[in-house]
Amino acid sequence: MLRIERISKTFDPNSVNAKKALDDLSLIAEDGDFITIIGANGAGKSTLFNAIGGSFFVDSGRIVLEDQDITYVKSNLRAKKIGHLFQDPMASTAPDMSIIENLALAGMNKGMFSRITANDRDYFREKLKELDMDLDKRMDTPVRLLSGGQRQALGLLMATVNKPQLLLLDEHTAALDPGSAEKVMELTCRIVEDNGITCLMITHDMNKAIEYGNKIVMMDQGRIIQTIDKSTQKNITVEDLILSFRNRQGKDLDNDRMLLGI
């Protein structure tokens, strides 16, 4: 379980550019939850993930993962328990290293082993085969030669190679063509389900937020303004989300990307 208790974060606090990106935000993700997170550009979604991943320490509040207070744990130690995947497929892989080297590096960073053996190679070949993207036959190919979809599938495998307690997906299919995006989403659901990983997924696409996961969280101005539990509120539509935003915030969603799902 992930428990976030009243966290706040202000960037550049003592300057005219001071920006409160997280404002007294609390969130609970139960084991096995798959929560989709939506909100206009600048709502603080990525900042929330960066706070959980430990890119910076929050100004106040607490972050607890599986009963361990990780508020002041360094990011490299958090990475052993938390997988984090970004929109840019380049961000999670080393382009000049081969597929197998990238996987080995991910395994080492997550404390699985200190050097790769023939057994590990076989294990990873099997895992790559399961992705069904022809990566198992190209284990020694530099990652820069892969398509965006292949690279994001590899990133997904790297992020989950040690069965993390938590997976953070920050618009991880937004930069892919529709076919690859669908394939990567399918893999995401399979990996998350097979391993029972608790998952938070940011998406700008309200249809995706409705389609995937068991809860929807809507953010605005560094706060959570609504949580929808799909087991109690069934058949939610995009129109419901837009109306609900207007009712709560007294303004319209000002984000074409989010409204159009592009």
Ligand X SMILES: Nc1ncnc2c1ncn2[C@@H]1O[C@H](COP(=O)(O)OP(=O)(O)O)[C@@H](O)[C@H]1O
> Least distance to ligand X from the beta carbon of 39, Å?
5
Shortest distance, position 254 Cβ to ligand X, whole Å: 13
Kindly tell me the burial class for residue 135, based on how many C-beta atoms sit within 10 Å of its own C-beta (0-12, 13-18, 19 or more): buried
Residue 144, token pair as written in the block: 């820069």
Which residue's C-beta sits nearest to Mg ion? 46
Q: How far is the CB of 96 from ligand X (least distance, A)?
A: 27
> Which of 7, 25, 36, 45 is close enough to bind ligand X by CB under 6 A?
45
Site for Mg ion, residues 33 to 72, rule: CB under 5 A:
45-46
**By three-state DSSP, how is residue 183 classified?**
helix
The residue within the footprint of ligand X, chosen from 36, 47, 150, 198 (CB under 6 A), is 47
84 lines the binding site for ligand X (CB under 6 A):
no
Is 168 within 8 Å of 83 (Cβ atoms)?
A: yes
SS3 of residue 163 by DSSP: coil
Residue 75 has a CB neighbour count (10 Å cut-off) of 16
- Binder to ligand X among 3, 8, 10, 19 (CB under 6 A)? 19
Told to check if 113 binds ligand X by CB under 6 A, we report no
Beta-carbon count within 10 A of 117 CB = 10
Residue 32 near residue 203, CB atoms below 8 Å: no
Q: How far is 199 from 239, CA to CA, in rounded Å? A: 25
Contact flag: residue 227 with ligand X (CB under 6 A): no
Nearest approach, Cβ of residue 7 and ligand X (Å): 13
Length of the chain: 262
Q: Does 59 bind ligand X (CB under 6 A)?
A: no
Q: Is 46 in the site for ligand X (CB under 6 A)?
A: yes
Min. distance of Cβ 116 from ligand X in angstroms? Answer: 34
- CA-closest candidate to residue 225, choices 8, 5, 38: 38
Give the interface with Mg ion as residue ranges (CB under 5 A): 45-46
Give the interface with ligand X as residue ranges (CB under 6 A): 11-12, 19, 21, 39, 41-47
